[in-house]
Structure 1
């Protein structure tokens, strides 16, 4: 069935045909003529159980020049999650996929207009290339949902063909990789705050599909609570001499205090762990980053993303010895993204406030970190990080 745009949603790789790809690319590449499509097959990386990511190359002509576009089609697959989780509500799959569709359709164009406002004035520029992507987010050419089947598609650039990849086997991120990821989050947070100032209302009101802080806390305790309790049991079995620490972890309650957080909120990735971060390297040195999988976008304090980033990706050395430098880099990139507008509420956000908020929000990252890393990183490194957090008095 066609969407409001008149473009059909493919149900499988067989539906990815030249005529369909041409329709998808027309908005960003007017005048393109696609003559052939080569489907490479599924390239889902990491856990890869939320969607089927199909790689394909499109061959054609634009402005009299032969072109080749390396793309991926991210399709809803209602059966795929069940291969990893015995019970997975179909409604949950629909919600996260439509959230990502709305993020790419509604939010990303607004963020791009702020990140690179000159593109709005370059209407006379020769149309030979797609618009530059100045965000640490994959370029998305088309995102929509079929209202009858609720199958969603997102057609994006194939980052693998550009040299981007995720870390294998959930390896910890290095200091330099953490710097790049933190900088990408700072750009997202800063641009979202500028967008909020421009529209004059909280982004949670402008985009009512974005979940709030209270939604995130409730979902964490109600839906992920059982998995967290199992993770704590596993931790206790590995470290039987840590009874006091285990007791603190058992009492961790993200719903307390019940009052709404008074801090400024920003658009947050809310799932910044290794499988959702792709790096490009030159001679083993990370040079660029992309944040992928925008299915759980939320409206949160900035340090929630940072707590998630550190607790799910940093080893003890990075967490203890390089944390301040990474947070300082994040703060610098945030201020740089915000610009010099003194009316911006985040402009007065000092590095010391950022560090204090990060420590206060670490229980959020710890909660999700124990769930994600259960059975894999219950080692002395994880213990060292949790012990350091305990010394801060936040658990």
Structure 2
């Protein structure tokens, strides 16, 4: 049924783009264990004397039990992002004459289906242009991380510009996203306690008691949510900004381009949550030893540059001193993210959790951990001991 509905959406897209009697080919593709809530498809729409459309689609595959644990509005988020928010961002860039090479790049949106159990979104197929996703089992390198953070800074700067230029409209959009906070609060409560046990099971004996004491006294879902609201400059954040939700390619001139995708987890929170999430889900201890300071400095430099192109003064909007203070205060979120996310991010394909079949969110915490998990998790723990956060 979902495939039939997707074909109907594609037929409508073809008609809107001037196709008469097109040939439509839809093929499933593997998520490689990086996507648990959707089936992915490539679509080719062709017709003589017409430029072929290369499209990409996601169809939601979440079972009844998990759906009952989620607000219905979650299934319409990505449409709202592409149709309303990202279009507004584009208008803001145009109004400020931001040079094309300095603008945020996202996939082109073609259409969607919002019918229950058939929810889908259709975008341009970036893979046809040579874009690929990063290997989730490898740590990011400096070049990739710098470009990814540059795109993130543009995304956050546009949120800041939106809130400054259209405060009432921005507030109304934020209200549409309010349900996300409650949903993620519930998910974190369900995941976190079990993930602590998973974390401690791979922690070295000499650090286990100190780590447990720190987690018991300093980190809870409630403290993390309070941290998310403590920033001087709250933004519409991506919410799941990790390499599996980015696509990249090397251009003919040798430069690297990174494009964010998958906006269904957008939240109203501190911009540092996206930054720390990217760092602690996408890098290993060696990378952070070499580049953590450089990358966090780079983010603020790129954010400041993007704000200036949008006619805003970064020293007023988000001063470096404030940013550095908040980064230090929010560092515990990096540990929290690693505890909650790394078991899933590093899981082997055959053990990847599923939102199909039966059962609720417990399906997401019952999967095995992969062989990379102990190294990556202990690397994060080592960071927090090395920084003196855990003593």
TM-score range, shorter chain: 0.7 to 0.9
Is there any run of 5+ residues in structure 2 with no aligned partner, and where? 344-368
Q: After the TM superposition, which of the residue ranges 305-314 and 32-41 deviates more from structure 2?
A: 32-41
Report the counterpart of residue 387 of structure 1 in structure 2: 382
The TM-score normalised by the length of structure 2 is: 0.79
Report the counterpart of residue 61 of structure 2 in structure 1: 77
> Any residues of structure 2 matched to 1:111-130 within 5 Å, and which?
111-117=89-95
Residue 154, structure 1, aligned to residue 121, structure 2? yes
Report the counterpart of residue 23 of structure 1 in structure 2: 12
Report the counterpart of residue 27 of structure 2 in structure 1: 40
Report the counterpart of residue 128 of structure 1 in structure 2: none
SS in 1 for 2:206: coil
Report the counterpart of residue 367 of structure 1 in structure 2: 336
Report the counterpart of residue 50 of structure 2 in structure 1: 66
2:2 corresponds, among 9, 12, 19, to 12
Per-residue CA deviation, residues 227-266 of structure 1 (Å, 9 max, x unaligned), is: 3223333233xx1221212331344224238595252111
Contact kept? 2:246, 2:260, Cα under 8 Å: yes
Matched residues in 2 for 1:78 and 1:93: separation? 13
Matched residues in 1 for 2:72 and 2:188: separation? 21
Matched residues in 1 for 2:340 and 2:191: separation? 8
1:57 corresponds, among 44, 47, 50, to 44
Contact kept? 1:232, 1:250, Cα under 8 Å: no
1:244 corresponds, among 202, 210, 229, to 210
Q: 1:37 and 1:364, CA in 2 relative to 1: closer, same or farther beyond 3 A?
A: same
Report the counterpart of residue 289 of structure 2 in structure 1: 320
Report the counterpart of residue 265 of structure 1 in structure 2: 234
Contact kept? 1:54, 1:72, Cα under 8 Å: yes
Q: 1:14 and 1:211, CA in 2 relative to 1: closer, same or farther beyond 3 A?
A: same
Report the counterpart of residue 185 of structure 1 in structure 2: 152
SS in 2 for 1:164: coil
Aligned residues: 358
Report the counterpart of residue 82 of structure 2 in structure 1: 104
Q: Say what the alpha-carbon RMSD is for the aligned residues.
A: 3.4
Matched residues in 2 for 1:386 and 1:278: separation? 29
2:131 corresponds, among 139, 164, 189, to 164
SS in 2 for 1:357: helix
The TM-score normalised by the length of structure 1 is: 0.78
Contact kept? 1:232, 1:246, Cα under 8 Å: no
SS in 1 for 2:24: strand
Higher helix share: 2
Matched residues in 2 for 1:209 and 1:215: separation? 12
